[in-house]
Amino acid sequence: MTSRSPLEPWPAAWRIDDADDRWSRTRGLLGTRSIDRRHGLWLPVRSVHTVGMRYPLDLVWLDRRRAVVRVDEHVRPGRVRWCRAADGGVVEVAAGSGRSLARDLGARHGGHALRPCDSHGMMGAW
């Protein structure tokens, strides 16, 4: 997996920031009170946690061509999610906007079919 977002640019209606260094990946969206509906954070990882978050997120998992692998919706604080098939990373977006990003990404790639990751990659609160 590369340390840069898999393809450029992101869909025009979206502002997706790259968490492409150790500090930005470690911090992620921690400390933020909310995220705008068309804003997201791309992380070059196959697992994330929401420990310390103040609000739920949608997670849009990508393959290396930026095709959507899976969308996890309304992931509450204190959770862990992973997806082995997401070799293109994950985009964290506001809860309720993951399907919209997936649709916009799918439209650019001529549609897509979500593929299963390992056993849904979820755990309860720590």
At 105-122, the pLDDT tens digits run 885 655 555 554 544 444
Element (H, E) at 40: strand 39-43
CATH, residue 81: 2.60.120.1140
Whole domain around residue 63: which residue ranges? 15-110
Is the residue at 121 inside a domain?
no
Question: Is 63 part of a structural domain of the chain?
Answer: yes
Residue 122 lies in a domain: no
Q: Does 123 reside within a domain?
A: no
> What's the structural domain count of the chain?
1
Query: Higher pLDDT residue, 117 or 55?
Result: 55
Quick one: pLDDT at residue 34?
A: 84
- Inside any domain, residue 6: no
What is this structure's pTM?
A: 0.80
Highest mean pLDDT among 3-12, 62-71, 105-114: 62-71
The answer as to whether 4 is a domain residue is no
Domain for residue 60, yes or no? yes
Asked, for residue 117, whether it belongs to a domain, the answer is no
Q: Which residues contact 60 (CB under 8 A, 6 or more apart)?
A: 40, 68, 71, 90, 91, 93, 98, 101, 102, 105
